[in-house]
Structure 1
């Protein structure tokens, strides 16, 4: 019924596509967009002057973002809504799901049938799950070309392909290629020097740092944990996956080697590498490497590092670069630095679905929602507002492509506005050279592999995936945080519980899909 209503609604709108003016965009940006459209086969021809979408009816769109509500929300979104109202006669009312509990509240929005139009999503924030459950509107080529003409022209075809699930697109992905999924460490260089430690460039040298801080620095936690809703230790990305060249699939402990042409799937908990890592974690836990409250941790790791409460943390280079810039300004005596624990490993560049926005399947105004997304990603004035706040208040523009943060930058930039990453992004003039050096080095180590865009459809094993997730939380997380006295016995229990939960059935289904995916690529 909903599809029929949607079809009727669309049929009442003029069929020709429209072009929204890119207010504030330079000629270079506009030309780049047109060139991108021609290069990738997307339509970029201008319609007749009278081919306009009817926006005479004002609409208010409900949008859901991840992260805390910005202190200056009213000020910035007031200006955003003023611009949107002038351009497409629409305004945004935004709800924010805090980082500490978004993963629980996010699926409830769909399950409860809440009324909203737009929502942040990504390959790590339930894009696949909600798309397969019917939570997102399918974005056909016709819809995108008609209601998002600038995005359609600017977005390379490969990015739309990366966003496809079973051949269909359900999100408007980011349009930027400068983000890495690999993680590294931010640490206090002054403490490294204080205890005459070796440079951090491996799991062993990092362990020495953590243990030195634990032993000598009272009141400082060596490693800052992220929120405890993760089903694995948040160092696993570096010490298990990056180190061994593995890619783990979603929220289950199944992985494949990225350089394996056959994509053979295995259970990471059954590997000798994981067993060795457990011994590493247990020793760190016993020596005070992190808080013993790992299972209930709800802290703000970023804030704790800036406040000097923790001596190191893990994140991607973009996030850590921003934190490093702040710390260098506020506490230059800390000599904060970045460390890659797997410097020789292959690096992974984020695919387009790392960040994006989807339209709720029940949206009453999907066409206007798409028009708003088109502007936020491609209109220079609106893009600057959603990404950086008010010029002169939250940031100072430097030329067309750089900016300098003011002291009030954090009063707006606290949420998932990376959803609109695009070629219009500005570069922070204070982004540390150390982070730029990491990006440059990693760019030469990026490894593209056949399964890079593979997405697991878990619809046939939903119960098993849920059961396995529960087992990971109940038995796996305490084990990885060194809270189980007998590690060998704990691992044996974990493996048995996974068997009972249906891990073998998930692995068989995953392998079947990977085999089909690779076979299709070979055609």
Structure 2
């Protein structure tokens, strides 16, 4: 708290200096985040400790940027092949606008889950980091890894984002009433779909894949007849629930889970928000029977628990017959495969048709500032530009115009041959109304998303955030139990399902599950009482 107060005082001093400077100059008062740099001779950069003299460069709003700053940001996903060429262009623009450059570090999908928290725990020297609810945003905020973003900081250094973002989005990103993220400013669906080989479905004259049973039939048929092709490949990483769980458990039963690192859910339609242990439900036991049947029929690799394979790359290469992800990701992969004239015919399957759908809250993607960053002001200015400056937004999201993409009007783009050289990493934190849509995005994916609109369900706990500070030890213990006992069950590795479930729940009880559930329910009850 002491650190945050210091920055608030610095921001206040800076604001007063700006006002006094404006009174004695010909300042035009242009505070646009896209305005050209102006000259000043009196401002001092907050936190620099030294006053620069002479013709200093000022960013929009009169903020002193005379001292060049090198920012570093942590992304998740593989480093793009054309990182150097694209970021060189990005840095030219950043140098012009805020006298800063940006270096990216990339945590590959195969090991990001282990490395991400270590980056924050070790107090490494970096300024910005991709953050998301599914990447432990709440937990890392409470641990002190992220800087608290006050209204004063945002209004001074990210004024365009402050104006463009809705109050709902800001509120959804707060943890215990405090903000630690600049969230994305464009909504998206979080519903999971299945992308599969339509040519294989047709080859074996299989029925439409529109139910869990039809999907199981497809997987077992591929396993029996297509040697060398894995019927299904999951995402890699320490997921407590893999994406297929979210299709067959969460969406199929119209449940929601507060935190995918905990085994708690509630029914979307439950106005009281009563949480329960997923592993104690008949629905979960039935799913394990479903998974065991698939495992026994070779629906996935025997080495699935240790696999480091990129499921999207494997699908694109024809090594697997199906994967799961959200509509946007799978639609983009379909568009890429068609652009490259893939020999495989692919299609999307929604096996939860007619079920209630939910949309992502703003913390699905966002940007946080490292609590120990020495460049807080410039980091916020960078976020402001990336979300609101068309030129920089296009570069960060799509690469170099004429090389990776071709603009189509103001809101669409055409992917060029080198487009794959700049994809696959977490630039989604800068999602905003400036986003372009791929003109080749499959119509069937767009139709699916449009069809879901009638089933989108908004529930009272959409903006609830669990403060886990009182049960941190228990949560860590429960997470370890889930990885050790639940994951093997879900991949059908355990022959005796009843014994496996009993062992799992016994271990969860010993890890302190009841204490977590009591604390969670207490906070939910208090939250709903205020509605």
- TM exceeding 0.5: yes
- Which residue number in structure 2 is paired with residue 2 of structure 1? 3
Report if aligned partners of 1:14, 1:51 keep a CA contact under 8 Å in 2. no
State the Cα distance separating 1:71 from its structure 2 match: 1.4
State the Cα distance separating 1:12 from its structure 2 match: 4.7
- CA RMSD after TM alignment: 1.7
Counterpart of 2:279 (choices 269, 275, 292) is 269
- Which residue number in structure 2 is paired with residue 169 of structure 1? 179
Q: TM-score, normalised by structure 2?
A: 0.91
Q: TM-score, normalised by structure 1?
A: 0.92
Mapping of residues 176-191 of structure 1, within 5 Å: 176-177=186-187, 179-191=188-200
How big is each residue's C-alpha offset from its partner over 1:208-243, in whole Å with a ceiling of 9 and x where there is no partner?
Answer: 000000000000000012104111243110111101
Between the aligned partners of 1:373 and 1:58, the Cα distance in structure 2 is 17
Counterpart of 1:231 (choices 222, 240, 248) is 240
State the Cα distance separating 1:21 from its structure 2 match: 4.2
Mapping of residues 65-84 of structure 1, within 5 Å: 65-84=75-94
Counterpart of 2:32 (choices 1, 6, 20) is 20
Match of 2:290, SS? Answer: helix
Match of 1:199, SS? Answer: coil
Task: Confirm or deny that 1:405 pairs with 2:405.
Answer: no
Task: Confirm or deny that 1:152 pairs with 2:162.
Answer: yes
Report if aligned partners of 2:335, 2:442 keep a CA contact under 8 Å in 1. yes
Match of 2:134, SS? Answer: coil
Mapping of residues 102-117 of structure 1, within 5 Å: 102-117=112-127
Report if aligned partners of 2:33, 2:60 keep a CA contact under 8 Å in 1. no
Match of 1:334, SS? Answer: coil
- Which residue number in structure 2 is paired with residue 54 of structure 1? 64
Counterpart of 1:217 (choices 212, 223, 226) is 226
- Which residue number in structure 2 is paired with residue 300 of structure 1? 310
Between the aligned partners of 1:288 and 1:228, the Cα distance in structure 2 is 21
Between the aligned partners of 2:283 and 2:156, the Cα distance in structure 1 is 51
Task: Confirm or deny that 1:97 pairs with 2:107.
Answer: yes
Between the aligned partners of 2:329 and 2:246, the Cα distance in structure 1 is 16
How big is each residue's C-alpha offset from its partner over 1:296-321, in whole Å with a ceiling of 9 and x where there is no partner?
Answer: 01101000001000000100000000
Between the aligned partners of 2:34 and 2:339, the Cα distance in structure 1 is 36
- Which residue number in structure 2 is paired with residue 125 of structure 1? 135
Mapping of residues 336-347 of structure 1, within 5 Å: 336-347=346-357
- Which residue number in structure 1 is paired with residue 441 of structure 2? 431
Report if aligned partners of 2:401, 2:407 keep a CA contact under 8 Å in 1. yes
Counterpart of 1:396 (choices 400, 406, 422) is 406
State the Cα distance separating 1:412 from its structure 2 match: 1.5
Point out where structure 1 has 5 or more consecutive residues left out of the alignment.
25-48
Mapping of residues 370-385 of structure 1, within 5 Å: 370-385=380-395
- Which residue number in structure 1 is paired with residue 205 of structure 2? 196
Between the aligned partners of 1:232 and 1:381, the Cα distance in structure 2 is 38
State the Cα distance separating 1:22 from its structure 2 match: 2.7
State the Cα distance separating 1:373 from its structure 2 match: 0.4
Between the aligned partners of 1:472 and 1:130, the Cα distance in structure 2 is 20
- Which residue number in structure 1 is paired with residue 476 of structure 2? 466
State the Cα distance separating 1:2 from its structure 2 match: 3.3
Report if aligned partners of 2:318, 2:344 keep a CA contact under 8 Å in 1. no
- Which residue number in structure 2 is paired with residue 291 of structure 1? 301
Between the aligned partners of 1:135 and 1:371, the Cα distance in structure 2 is 20
Counterpart of 1:334 (choices 341, 344, 348) is 344
Report if aligned partners of 2:235, 2:242 keep a CA contact under 8 Å in 1. no
Task: Confirm or deny that 1:500 pairs with 2:510.
Answer: yes
Report if aligned partners of 1:130, 1:136 keep a CA contact under 8 Å in 2. yes
Between the aligned partners of 1:94 and 1:355, the Cα distance in structure 2 is 17
Report if aligned partners of 1:23, 1:380 keep a CA contact under 8 Å in 2. no
Between the aligned partners of 2:241 and 2:136, the Cα distance in structure 1 is 17
Task: Confirm or deny that 1:88 pairs with 2:89.
Answer: no
Match of 1:14, SS? Answer: helix
How big is each residue's C-alpha offset from its partner over 1:338-364, in whole Å with a ceiling of 9 and x where there is no partner?
Answer: 000111111111111100101111111
- Which residue number in structure 2 is paired with residue 248 of structure 1? 257
Report if aligned partners of 2:192, 2:325 keep a CA contact under 8 Å in 1. yes
State the Cα distance separating 1:13 from its structure 2 match: 2.2
Match of 1:237, SS? Answer: helix
State the Cα distance separating 1:329 from its structure 2 match: 3.6
How big is each residue's C-alpha offset from its partner over 1:228-260, in whole Å with a ceiling of 9 and x where there is no partner?
Answer: 411124311011110111111211101111110
State the Cα distance separating 1:405 from its structure 2 match: 0.7
Point out where structure 2 has 5 or more consecutive residues left out of the alignment.
20-29, 37-58
State the Cα distance separating 1:6 from its structure 2 match: 3.1
Between the aligned partners of 2:13 and 2:81, the Cα distance in structure 1 is 41
Report if aligned partners of 1:226, 1:297 keep a CA contact under 8 Å in 2. no
Between the aligned partners of 2:175 and 2:5, the Cα distance in structure 1 is 22
How big is each residue's C-alpha offset from its partner over 1:451-501, in whole Å with a ceiling of 9 and x where there is no partner?
Answer: 011111111111111111111111100011000111111111111111111
Between the aligned partners of 1:21 and 1:505, the Cα distance in structure 2 is 48
Report if aligned partners of 1:211, 1:284 keep a CA contact under 8 Å in 2. yes
Between the aligned partners of 1:228 and 1:142, the Cα distance in structure 2 is 38
